[in-house]
Amino acid sequence: MHARTDERAAPERGLTRSASAASRAAAGVAWFLRHKPLGAIGGTLVVLLALLAIAAPLLTPYDPVQTSPREQLASPSASHPIGTDQLGRDLWSRILFGSRISLALGFGAVAMGTFAAIVIGIIGGYYGGAVDAVIERFVDAIMAFPWIMLMMAFMAMLGTGIFNLMLALAIAMAPRSSRVVRATVRSIKASQYVEAATATGCTHVEIIFRHILPNVMSPVIVLTTMYLGWAILVESALSFIGFGVPPPFPSWGRTLSDEGRRFMLQAPWIAIFPGVAISLAVFGFNMLGDALRDVLDPRMRGTQ
């Protein structure tokens, strides 16, 4: 009898836990909207850009690489909401499909760079000694070069291409992020609960995955959101100087560089709208990253 009662009560307890988790999540979102309005605006912009990128094929009837000689440099109209470029390509389509490439590059580069930073930072911060010294000298050597020169050198060696650009962005990002991870790991390693885990016989792998890695994720999440805006901006800068996304792929930076720079006076919309898209994306990620830093970083909680 008791077993049947427990079986009937189990789904109810599951629903109750789900409802309480949903209510806590809603309360957290409400608190974030109330106390971090700029972060909420940034998060809204990020979500909106992601939705536009996903729904790009449904929001425009034009192919972003299809040319139309009869509609070269056409001004904004009902058929072309923000005009066309010098080849008659619909600018709205190119910006929407360009958001797919820019966001994919940003997320892919940040994912690779963050993974490398976590591995490098944890190994150096946890083991210390000669291992940490060798890693830090390697990191110092990479950080000694300006990031734009470093990425141009990598792109010259690897060649142009979306994956090569993603890899170059990750290589430029990883050393700086690894410094933050390393400092966090060294602080966590000196805590009492890690010493207690060592005293109870936990292996290094268990300590790293159970005690160190979960506590490193807060600064990593903050770095990830802030570097997403940086990656989009750097991709635009590299495309502007010819080292970014190769044609005919639509890219915000390449549109601003090739068409916008040459036809800025004759057709200003070619330069204005890609610049607005880049600015909104960078603003959204930076504001969201700043807000998450205030919420997740223990050193910033006293300033809220």
pLDDT digits (tens, 9 = 90+) for 53-96: 899 889 888 888 888 888 888 888 888 888 888 888 888 998 89
* Per-residue model confidence (pLDDT) at position 112: 93
Residue 165 sits in the same domain as residue 180:
yes
The verdict on 56 and 137 lying in the same domain is yes
pLDDT digits (tens, 9 = 90+) for 98-141: 888 888 888 899 999 999 999 999 999 998 889 999 999 999 88
Q: How confident is the model at residue 28 (pLDDT cuts 50, 70, 90)?
A: low
**Is 93 in the same domain as 150?**
yes
The verdict on 207 and 266 lying in the same domain is yes
**Does 76 lie in the same domain as 29?**
no
Are 190 and 227 in a shared domain? yes
Q: What's the rounded Cα separation, in Å, for the pair 251 and 72?
A: 19
- CA gap 243, 220 in Å, rounded: 28
* 98 and 14 in a common domain: no
Total domains, the chain: 2
Residue 82 and residue 17 share a domain: no
Distant-in-sequence, close-in-space partners of 164: CB < 8 Å, separation ≥ 6 = 154, 155, 158
Mean per-residue pLDDT of the chain: 81
Q: Domain residues for 272?
A: 38-303
Q: Are residues 140 and 28 in the same domain?
A: no
Structure tokens at 54: 């996903």
What confidence tier does 48 reach under pLDDT thresholds 50, 70, 90? very high
Query: Are 53 and 163 contained in the same domain?
Result: yes
Same domain, 247 and 154: yes
> What pLDDT, on the 0 to 100 scale, is given for residue 19?
60
pLDDT band at residue 15 under the 50/70/90 scheme: low
- CATH number for the domain that contains residue 52: 1.10.3720.10
> For residue 22, what pLDDT band results from cuts at 50, 70 and 90?
low
Give the tens place of pLDDT for each residue, 244-288: 777 777 888 777 776 667 777 788 888 888 888 888 888 888 888
Averaged pLDDT, 210-234 = 84
If asked whether residues 6 and 56 sit together in one domain, one would say no
- Condensed to tens digits (0 to 9), the pLDDT of residues 226-252 reads 788 888 888 777 777 777 777 777 888
Three-point CA angle 109, 111, 113, nearest 5°: 65
